[in-house]
Amino acid sequence: MEECCSSKPKKEQNHNHEGHDHAHDTGDKSIFRMFLPAIVSFVLLLVGVVLDNYLKTNWFNGWVRLVWYLIAYIPVGLPVLKDAYESITKGDVFSEFFLMGIATVGAFAIGEYPEGVAVMLFYSVGEVFQAMAVTKAKNNIKSLLDQRPDEVTVIKGGKPVIVKAEFVKIGEIIQLKSGEKLGLDGELLSEKASFNTSALTGESKPDTKTKGETILAGMINLNTLSEVKVTTAYEDSKLSKILELVQNATSQKAPTELFIRKFAKVYTPIVVFLAIGITFLPYFFVEEYQFRDWLYRALVFLVISCPCALVISIPLGYFGGIGSGSRNGILFKGSNFLDSLANIQNVVMDKTGTMTEGVFKVQEVNFKSEFDKNEILKWVNALESKSSHPVATAIHDFVGEVDNNIQLDNVEEIAGHGLKANIKGKEILVGNFKLMDRFNINCDIRPENIVYTLIAVAYDQKFVGYLTIADSIKADAQSTINKLKSLNVKTTMLSGDKASVVQYVADALGIENAYGDLLPEDKVNKVKDIKAKNQTVAFVGDGVNDAPVVALSDVGIAMGGLGSDATIETADVVIQDDMPSKIPMAINIGKQTKKIVWQNIALAFIVKAVVLILGAGGLATMWEAVFADVGVALLAILNAVRIQKMKFN
Containing 266, the helix (H) or strand (E) segment is helix 255-280
Give residues with Cβ within 8 angstroms of 580, minimum separation 6: 349, 354, 355, 474, 476, 477, 480, 540, 559
Give SS3 for 456. Answer: strand
| Cα(165)–Cα(182) distance, integer angstroms | 10
Active site residues: 350
Q: At what angle do helices 291-305 and 255-280 cross, to 10 degrees?
A: 180
Strand pairing partners for 174?
Answer: 154, 228
Give the number of other CB atoms < 10 A from CB of residue 501. Answer: 21
Please state whether beta strands 573-575 and 555-559 pair in parallel, antiparallel, or not at all (unpaired). Answer: parallel
Give yes or no for a contact between 560 and 550, defined as CB atoms under 8 angstroms apart: no
| Cα(220)–Cα(198) distance, integer angstroms | 9
Which residue, 31, 38, 113, 28, is CA-closest to 78? 38
C-alpha Rg value of the chain to the nearest Å: 34
Integer angstrom CA distances of residue 525 from 108, 343, 499, 529: 69, 22, 17, 6
Give yes or no for a contact between 268 and 591, defined as CB atoms under 8 angstroms apart: no
| Cα(335)–Cα(562) distance, integer angstroms | 22
Sheet arrangement for strand 151-156 = 159-164, 151-156, 173-176, 226-230, 186-188, 214-215
Task: Give the distance, in angstroms, between the CA of residue 588 and the centroid of all CA atoms in the same chain.
Answer: 12
| Cα(584)–Cα(603) distance, integer angstroms | 28
Please state whether beta strands 513-515 and 573-575 pair in parallel, antiparallel, or not at all (unpaired). Answer: unpaired
Task: Give the distance, in angstroms, between the CA of residue 265 and the centroid of all CA atoms in the same chain.
Answer: 29
Containing 382, the helix (H) or strand (E) segment is helix 373-384
Task: Give the distance, in angstroms, between the CA of residue 392 and the centroid of all CA atoms in the same chain.
Answer: 38
